Structure 1
């Protein structure tokens, strides 16, 4: 199966639905109250529509497969996540461009979403590596990625220019197929504990 194939993924906690413009209203609500640190790229409530349009354009170019994250206990869409930097020929993908609204932070939502995406990548799409990237200064994100069971590969120094012209050092993590069974077990255990 192709990493860019549009499909719905679901478990007991979340449903990942192919992102559509129809998700905009719910995502505007989800984005309200998020702190917009200078090192993140979470959309503001007034830019959610443009963010969806950009993700769909990247999808149409074959670089991204975006999902809306629906929390099943409330039925509300609470954020987005993607397969990005898709390299189908080499069966390599990054999970990124993820944000979760305040109401769903510190819940099972992120763990359940990552479990679905990683299972799909490794078990259905036969990925040879799944990568995660974050800004050096985003300590919360770095800690969350490490808790997933990903290993830090390195730091890409002066990797990108930010919107304000500052340099971004990007921290790269990955999970490989032989690591996936232990990662899957760890994520499942976290979900079982609540």
Structure 2
């Protein structure tokens, strides 16, 4: 399983390798406190702070720990969020979708589902993954509904999984899709997204 930068194209978005050229667009997209409620990062309100997040993602990419994408609208070329492959385990042919965020005006529009679909499809059909995991803060009901809507199986809760910046002891809900699941959910997701 060789995970390397690639552009993935959907009906409404392109997932493109994240670079510093996305700084201005992502600063505008990220400047809403509600985006960061469960991501344990302060709202990036300055060019320097969003640039630091991008550079951190690129450092993790260089270390083989992450493959970050910008979510770019095809109609105007504007980056409106980001999503990454994280916890990449080539030996086990497994990875996780994470660091997923989107400007609030695109919530509940299907854009997040389209981005997830493109990454999951690429993982199973091009990278030959056998497992794609997803996790979210147990308090984040919206994210849990979205993940379940992908057809992912809820595996359980890691209690007190992380201690956040504000001292909150986060419980994380874990989900996964395995290769056999993909065979049964692919067509339904493709129809929802509007692709083949």
Shorter-chain TM band: over 0.9
Whether contact under 8 Å (1:17, 1:70) holds in the other structure is yes
> Which residue is 1:14 aligned to?
13
Question: Equivalent residue for 2:176?
Answer: 174
Instruction: State which drifts further: 118-127 or 104-113.
Output: 104-113
Q: Tell me if structure 1 keeps the 8 A contact 2:35–2:102.
A: no
Q: Secondary structure at the match of 1:45?
A: coil
Residue in structure 2 matched with residue 189 of structure 1 by the alignment? 191
1:13-162 residue pairs with structure 2 within 5 A? 13-36=12-35, 38-41=37-40, 43-46=43-46, 47-162=49-164
Under a length normalisation based on structure 1, what TM-score does the superposition of the two structures give?
Answer: 0.92
Mapped contact 1:68–1:79 kept (Cα < 8 A): yes
Distance 1:36 1:190 in 2: 24
Unmatched tracts of structure 1, length 5 or more: none
Asked whether the 8 Å contact 1:157–1:168 carries over to 2, the reply is yes
DSSP 3-state at the match of 1:66: strand
SS of 2:76 mapped into structure 1: coil
Runs of at least 4 residues off by over 4 Å: none
Say whether the 8 Å CA contact 1:94–1:130 is kept in structure 2.
Answer: yes
The CA deviation at 1:39 is: 2.8
Unaligned runs of 5+ in 2: none
Looking at structure 2, the residues matched to 76 and 37 of structure 1 have their Cα atoms a distance apart, in angstroms, of 20
SS in structure 2 of the partner of residue 164 of structure 1: coil
Q: Residues 37, 76 of structure 1: CA spacing in aligned structure 2 closer, same or farther, 3 A cutoff? A: closer
SS at match of 1:141: helix
Q: How many residues align?
A: 192
Aligned-residue offset at 1:34: 4.5
Cα pair distance change 1:190/1:25, threshold 3 Å: same
RMSD: 1.7
- Asked if the contact 2:11–2:193 (Cα under 8 Å) also holds between the matched residues in 1, the reply is no
Structure 2 CA distance for partners of 1:106 and 1:2, relative to 1, 3 Å: same
Paired residue secondary structure (2:83): strand
Higher mean Cα deviation, 106-115 or 40-49? 40-49
Identify which range, 72-81 or 15-24, moves more after superposition.
Answer: 72-81
Distance in 2 between residues matched to 1:104 and 1:36, nearest whole Å: 11
